[in-house]
Amino acid sequence: MHIFSKKSIGIVAILLFCIPSIAYADNERNNSVAVNLGWISIWVGIIANLSLVIFKIAKKIPTIVGSIGSVSNFAPFYKPVLDLHIMLNSIGFFAGIIHGIMLVRGLDHISLSLAIVMTFSMASGIVLRCTSGKNLKIFGRLAHGQFILAVLLVVLVVLHILTHVKF
């Protein structure tokens, strides 16, 4: 099963088109569209990344336990989970960028750092996914798979929320 077929690319385009309409959804706190886009970006990013992390952890469990099953049992599911990760992170990235553009007057160091880390992570993921050269693949794996990059992204998102949300 391939999520990035011609049919699914159309679905992704429709979802990207629907992001602004989701952001205009009415809620009790009367948040602006830009704030809603920020929350959409955060939640879609959490779902996208946790799905891949949980899959990778689940893939390692049978080898740790031993007789439950083989890692090869998970092999057919890796590509769809990876495609889901890419699709949802793309949606979250564009929602976050639109959020930042709409609120550019409130730009601070944390927000700018978050935009840079998000862009670097997205660019290294594109390099990893779309290139065929050995050296570029190695760069993509080294850059995109850094644990410190994921920790930095989470810390910046939390700091961004704490400095901009009024409790």
What CA–CA distance (Å, rounded) separates 161 from 46? 14
In this predicted structure, what is the pLDDT of residue 1? 44
For the segment 24-71, what is each residue's pLDDT rounded down to a tens digit? 555 555 558 888 889 999 999 999 999 998 888 887 776 555 555 555
Mean pLDDT in residue range 85-94? 91
For the segment 114-128, what is each residue's pLDDT rounded down to a tens digit? 999 999 999 998 888
Tokens 């993509």 sit on residue: 140
Residue type for 146, please?
Q
* Alpha helices for the chain (secondary structure H): 6-23, 33-65, 75-102, 109-130, 134-144, 147-164
Task: Say if CB 33 and CB 20 are below 8 A apart.
Answer: yes
Higher-confidence residue: 72 or 82?
82
Half-sphere exposure of 5 (CA within 13 A, CB side): 5
Instruction: Compute the C-alpha angle 106/50/117, nearest 5°.
Output: 35
